[in-house]
Structure 1
């Protein structure tokens, strides 16, 4: 497709297509920030477009060298030539088509299939043939006359950026003819059978046609245009089911929610809004999620796409608008970092797993870096809100700012000395750290700081109780000492690492922070939960008592809940023993070892008192709540 395509033909690999396409220092400096900048976004968009062209060129060349991969369809170069014709006629339409997140997901998936690193549920030719559907969509958008065969699945033909034609055909993997003449496009899935006409406005539904609808919201001169991608063939998160088609009521609900969230972003976070308006392209809608726990996701190959749960219709409009706005910022920052990582590596391979305070599960180094980049922006968002909001909204913003400033800084401080970071990765981390440290002097009420400290400690303790496995020899020695009635061995103070053993049952470990949000925002609902009424999922009476400030009751209740690993975390914190508070996994493991040996379970509080004696007067340190470089990974589960 013009000079861009000629440049692409010089590359023989899709794995390293953009090493020569570098961010200039100004753009990189803008990206190394807790804020979102339009200039950096535009630079990444240009780079991503070049990458898409290269991926397509490599794909066409690989398919052309393997004629069997195309099945009953025309040669790949025929589809490429049609796409090139469309680009010459309407380059902006083809640019939009190639930058569609589904194009990125499809191209990456097909290249992995061609190279044997991934399987698929469709015949290879059907996946490869989406190139022909892409060319057909480009030709329709450009108003080019054409005729081409494309894949059909259960009688459905998906034309990227346009919509889906559905016929009565039942063949699971068939072909259909797409054609256009004098501005009229149609899809025919059966020879001499009825055709489905593509409406002039393809976003509208018509007989046999489901349009790819768009949401456009404007405020104070800034417009956000998003495709509502509820027809996607390639999931943003591999292995997940595609979204359900939104009905008209659902579409209206999304439009109202986006209207309010966009107005808030433009009015109070305009620089971020300008970047989002340039770099967000599509929205994959998910059903409403639990209050204060919106579901969202993004993917490296789906630049500009966000999966987000619908705004909560059961909460006040202001709360829903803020929640959607911060979620958009959060996921957009993942998109930005994905774009940077397509240009240059930020870390070398690293086998270790780490604690990430925004996740329930242990994370690889790249995942922690992603989260730190995203949540440093979340901290900035709440910092701005705490200066603008009032009443309970301001109280919540102060708590969120204190929490995410604290957690982002702690994570970045762990990362910035890690030897697996590249020079670019270190530069990014240090710039983010400098941004966050510049907020140190900003006043935050002591109450907010204390709640943030407790929420961070509670999540970390629960995480350790689920995912850390202390040294078995140390555990056995401690259990034997308890059973003999002697002092705990000093070894428990010296062993501060252990294995990271992912426990899939470790879910919703943010119970303390979740309840703080509820208590601030909806004190009536919090009081009802304490009185035995409805309470958030996986929250226990002990958690409610702890957040309410009733520490004695909370400790007693946690002691009754020790079949639940996270209860050991809360119990250790409330008992307040040095070492034990930071090592709930050790307390839990010793208790289980004693029970196995003696058949009797020791009283948790007594065991904690006894184990804490190991630290008395010896000056030993119990170790960090974060995983060290030497922490070992395990694929087994607790």
Structure 2
């Protein structure tokens, strides 16, 4: 029996390395915002900077970024074009910068480009450039006219509001929507939070980022009403309204609060203990730390290193940057002893500054941050599936092999968050031409029908495809096919570009649709009445090859024989089953399910809830059984056809691998750097820790099945599997490779193996 994962390293997004850079391509601005950290705070180094970044500086920065990506095996890097105001470069200047960056970085690693702007200089021609070159555009807007014009004005005092809204109207046009990345809004607590939220949401941004105003202990933030926590109060009012609205648009700080409450990453420098992952390149080529440090004192962001003289790794050795990579150890004693420090992380580094003690202080927004943490740490409502990091009692439950529906729900939820994070990262790496950006379409449909969209995104081969894209092994434009599948399932109108290849448009979890003609991009439209057309032609029923299910009565897994990325298993997959073969598979799976119910009933709740996709594999030439899982294809298994009794064993065996892989995505069970290999009873070759752990867990379930079967041959098989599993558990516990969670898991596994037969 083969398992594709035992020798495979855990999937991930790459080795440690810096992935985000800010390039100050133009150091002046056409607005005079009085809260700007570049021009209006302590650091006035902009006065000595070249107005425009020279082409030689762009090339040198791109080369440094590319060499760092190669050295660290990165799967993607993100460069933000910034200023000042980058649109002051004009069309030709922007075109040259973008082309130079792409020509140097893209051949090495996928380059995600974005640009942050006040929007004043945006034109249709520049929007067209951004769509063509896959540049996401973030626009600064502080709310309605009154809120925006408190700070964002021209030097003569004139309002910028109408010009900014004109830019946002451009980005909402269908031909330019793909370039629309979101809105950045700086908080002023004198503005009504709901009015600001409604005004910003009305611009239909793909995401919103609310920023605390930059302040230090020397220059504290305004607190006009005398409240101790006005910024928390302001954001919490939006949080309540946003939640009541069904969370129609991602809001970074609110999403971060929820992620950190679950023990996840913050995805922002302003919260949490995520390591700092950004370097700035000034217009003269100087490497600098985050721009926000300019509020502290003159020269606070400087490193005395340049793209011409120092690599990225050499720059990361700067004491200021090194200190910000040490997480909890970099915080002051007051922060380290705080109960919410894991979520807060001390707040934005710049906001901790005080003359005399430097940055060794809590954030000047400390009281607000603590209130935000405490007010967004409410327990889930009754019946709501848990979403926190996997607790110890659930780890022990998974170790028994007998998992509840609630535990499957937890693994599903965590897996969905992982996949959505991959997809969001992927969505930012390209911008298709025309129609609605597929990620924007998915966000919109999720607001209307979140359950159905999550089911589509949770189809196992979606993560396989996304993971391959980030390794440059698959076509990222298939995001359009994913959005089309969601539109068909939800019945929500949409028009997106889909990829046709090999005569089919393949829609994950839905169907393969036969489309004549050459491969390429085609517009797929889902109409108001649920009608589907491709390139303006309604689809005929005969063109559809839907994903079918094996309906056993109590359990109905999909038999996916059409997905383009189901080939992730060790063994080759079968082509589309004919109707007779599909009936045979359904009949055999029904019988196998009944055997599991009779012989290993403790596995039934988890298997019924969790094993939702089976892909038929080609049988071995010698008739030997074949079954496989792939870590990134949760919760699918691959099976070659076998008789019911053997199929029952294969299903239970492989679903053990599915559960353990999902657990290992979120809990470290062993030290990944542990190199030793160990002898096991079921293989002649020494196995790594991961292989021993997976084998022991899978054989625990197989032993249970054989223990329930009558006859001496069955008893001999049971003893083989029992002894193999017991020896492997002892080996793991004595290896020194297990973490605390891993030791707890293996001890519970061994106790289950030795428990009396039911």
Alignment of 1:429-468 (within 5 A): 429-438=746-755
Is 1:79 aligned to 2:433, yes or no?
no
Conserved in 2, the CA contact under 8 Å of 1:216 and 1:225?
Answer: yes
- RMSD of aligned C-alpha atoms? 3.0
Please report how far the alpha carbon of residue 432 of structure 1 lies from its aligned counterpart in structure 2 after TM superposition: 1.1
Please report how far the alpha carbon of residue 176 of structure 1 lies from its aligned counterpart in structure 2 after TM superposition: 1.4
Matched residue, 2:539 = 196
Alignment of 1:73-152 (within 5 A): 78-113=437-472, 120=473, 127-152=475-500
Matched residue, 1:215 = 550
Matched residue, 1:248 = 579
Matched residue, 2:150 = none
Conserved in 2, the CA contact under 8 Å of 1:265 and 1:273?
Answer: yes
CA-to-aligned-CA distance 1:55-95 (integer Å, 9 cap, x gap): 2223223x1xxxxx4455667xx212211222233222112
Please report how far the alpha carbon of residue 45 of structure 1 lies from its aligned counterpart in structure 2 after TM superposition: 1.8
Matched residue, 2:222 = none
Alignment of 1:468-507 (within 5 A): none
Q: 1:399 aligns with which of 691, 708, 716?
A: 716
Conserved in 1, the CA contact under 8 Å of 2:678 and 2:686?
Answer: yes
Conserved in 1, the CA contact under 8 Å of 2:522 and 2:534?
Answer: yes
More helix by share: 1
Secondary structure of residue in 1 paired with 2:631: coil
Matched residue, 1:269 = 600
Q: Say if 1:289 and 1:183 are closer, same or farther in 2 by CA, change over 3 A.
A: farther
Is 1:296 aligned to 2:296, yes or no?
no
Conserved in 2, the CA contact under 8 Å of 1:298 and 1:307?
Answer: yes
Matched residue, 1:371 = 695
Unaligned stretches of 5+ residues in structure 1: 64-68, 114-119, 198-205, 312-319, 444-638
Please report how far the alpha carbon of residue 272 of structure 1 lies from its aligned counterpart in structure 2 after TM superposition: 1.0
Rounded Cα–Cα distance in structure 1 between residues aligned with 2:507 and 2:688: 37
TM-score normalized with structure 2 length: 0.48
Q: 1:176 aligns with which of 509, 516, 522?
A: 522
Conserved in 1, the CA contact under 8 Å of 2:729 and 2:746?
Answer: yes
Q: Say if 1:58 and 1:255 are closer, same or farther in 2 by CA, change over 3 A.
A: same
Moved more, 404-413 or 33-42: 33-42
Conserved in 1, the CA contact under 8 Å of 2:463 and 2:633?
Answer: yes
Rounded Cα–Cα distance in structure 2 between residues aligned with 1:21 and 1:98: 20
CA-to-aligned-CA distance 1:9-35 (integer Å, 9 cap, x gap): 75269xx99999411233222112143
Secondary structure of residue in 2 paired with 1:416: helix
Rounded Cα–Cα distance in structure 1 between residues aligned with 2:518 and 2:394: 51
Matched residue, 2:176 = none
Query: How many residue pairs were aligned?
Result: 388
CA-to-aligned-CA distance 1:192-217 (integer Å, 9 cap, x gap): 6x5534xxxxxxxx322211111121
Matched residue, 2:331 = none
Unaligned stretches of 5+ residues in structure 2: 1-205, 207-245, 257-265, 276-341, 344-386
Alignment of 1:228-627 (within 5 A): 228-237=559-568, 241-289=572-620, 293-311=624-642, 320-348=643-671, 349-359=673-683, 361-383=685-707, 385-386=708-709, 389=710, 394-438=711-755
Conserved in 2, the CA contact under 8 Å of 1:73 and 1:129?
Answer: no
CA-to-aligned-CA distance 1:124-154 (integer Å, 9 cap, x gap): xxx2112111111111111111111111113
Rounded Cα–Cα distance in structure 1 between residues aligned with 2:650 and 2:727: 22
Matched residue, 1:629 = none
CA-to-aligned-CA distance 1:471-528 (integer Å, 9 cap, x gap): xxxxxxxxxxxxxxxxxxxxxxxxxxxxxxxxxxxxxxxxxxxxxxxxxxxxxxxxxx
CA-to-aligned-CA distance 1:317-337 (integer Å, 9 cap, x gap): xxx222111111111110110
Matched residue, 1:47 = 414
Q: Say if 1:354 and 1:196 are closer, same or farther in 2 by CA, change over 3 A.
A: farther
Rounded Cα–Cα distance in structure 2 between residues aligned with 1:29 and 1:287: 36
Secondary structure of residue in 2 paired with 1:216: coil
Please report how far the alpha carbon of residue 238 of structure 1 lies from its aligned counterpart in structure 2 after TM superposition: 6.0
Conserved in 1, the CA contact under 8 Å of 2:600 and 2:704?
Answer: no
TM-score normalized with structure 1 length: 0.56
Please report how far the alpha carbon of residue 339 of structure 1 lies from its aligned counterpart in structure 2 after TM superposition: 0.9
Secondary structure of residue in 2 paired with 1:129: helix
